[in-house]
Amino acid sequence: MKRSALITALALIVVLSGCGLWQRPPSSGDKKITLTLWYWNRSIDDELLKQVDQQFPNIHLNYQKIGGDFKAKLMTTLAARSGGPDIVGLNDWVSALFPDKTRFVNLYDLGAKEVQSKYLEWKWKQGVTPDGTMIAFPMDTGPTALFYREDLFRQAGLPTDPAEVNKQLRTWDAYFEAGKKLKQALGGKVSMTDNVKDLYGQVLAQGKDLYFTPDGQFIGERSEQVQKAWAAAAKAYKDGVVANVDRWTPEWNAAMNKGDIASFVGAVWMKKVLKDAAPDTSGKWRVARAPGGDGNNGGSFLAIMKTSQHPKEAFEVIKWLQSESNQLRAFQDLDLFPSAPGAFSDPKMNSEEPFFGGQKTGAIFAESAKNVQVAYFGEKFTLVDGIMKQEMDKVAKQNKSPDAAWQDAMKQIQRELKR
Q: Does 250 bind other proteins (CB under 8 A)?
A: yes
Straight-line distance from the first to the last Cα atom of the chain, in angstroms, rounded to the nearest whole number: 59
Question: CB 314 → other proteins: shortest distance, Å?
Answer: 20
Q: Does 254 bind other proteins (CB under 8 A)?
A: yes
227 vs 249 by CB, closer to other proteins:
249
Q: Footprint of other proteins on residues 276-335 (CB under 8 A)?
A: none
Q: Does 75 bind other proteins (CB under 8 A)?
A: yes
Q: CB neighbours of 296 closer than 8 A, spacing ≥ 6?
A: 122, 123, 141, 142, 143, 144, 205, 267, 369, 372
Only one of the segments 164-172, 223-231, 244-252, 351-359 lies at the binding site for other proteins (rule: CB under 8 A); that segment is: 244-252
Which residues lie across from 287 on neighbouring strands? 147
Q: Does 60 bind other proteins (CB under 8 A)?
A: no
Q: Does 20 bind other proteins (CB under 8 A)?
A: no
69 vs 164 by CB, closer to other proteins:
69
Q: Check: CB of residue 377 under 8 Å from CB of residue 95.
A: yes
Among 91, 116, 244, 282, binds other proteins (CB under 8 A): 244
Among 83, 111, 157, 386, binds other proteins (CB under 8 A): 386
Which residues lie across from 141 on neighbouring strands? 337
Angle at 143 (CA atoms; ends 348, 146), nearest 5 degrees: 100
48 vs 96 by CB, closer to other proteins:
96
Q: Does 97 bind other proteins (CB under 8 A)?
A: yes
Q: Does 18 bind other proteins (CB under 8 A)?
A: no
What are the two backbone dihedrals, phi and then psi, of residue 186, each rounded to the nearest 5 degrees? -105, 25
Helices and strands in the chain, H and E counts: 16, 8
CA 162/CA 364 separation, integer angstroms: 9
Q: Does 407 bind other proteins (CB under 8 A)?
A: no
Smallest CA-to-CA distance from 200 within 167, 228, 240, 178 is with 228
Which residues lie across from 90 on neighbouring strands? 301
Q: Does 13 bind other proteins (CB under 8 A)?
A: yes
What residues line the site for other proteins (CB under 8 A)? 1-3, 5-6, 8-10, 12-13, 16-17, 69, 72, 75-76, 78-79, 96-97, 99-100, 103, 243-245, 249-251, 254-255, 258, 260, 383, 386, 390, 393-394, 397-398, 419
